Amino acid sequence: MYDQPLFFFDVMAVTMMLVLAYLSKRVGEARYAGRDRPYYVILFITAGAIVAASGLETIPRSLSLEFISTVTSSIRFGASAIAFAVAFRYWSWLFAEFSKK
């Protein structure tokens, strides 16, 4: 059975990744003026991976696929780690600005 808190986590994570992708695209255009690769696309891919993991969770338990929860947890962890790295790539300048004060 699909856990409701996990569903809300997935919705929140996908929403956050899509917002970060949009904002990172804007920051990348302003800071790098087209000289940098569009890493923000990876955020769209990681959001899709979480949607896929959420879809895998809906497979009925009657199929007795015990490893599905491990696979979906691994997908969520990997997507989150990659999204963090990409977001850090675009937003690391904030830490430098904050430490100047």
User: Which H or E run includes 74?
Assistant: helix 68-91
* Predicted pLDDT at 1: 52
Please state, in angstroms and as integers, the Cα–Cα distance from residue 83 to each residue in 18, 41, 65, following that order. Answer: 10, 10, 28
Mean pLDDT value of segment 58-87: 85
Mean pLDDT value of segment 19-44: 82
Mean pLDDT value of segment 27-35: 73
* Predicted pLDDT at 34: 63
Mean pLDDT value of segment 15-43: 83
Report yes or no on whether pTM surpasses 0.85.
no
Mean pLDDT value of segment 64-89: 88
Q: How far apart are CA 99 and CA 95, in angstroms?
A: 6
> Residue 25 pLDDT > 80, yes or no?
yes
Higher model confidence: residue 33 or residue 67? 67
Tokens matching residue 44: 């769209």
Tokens matching residue 99: 């430490």
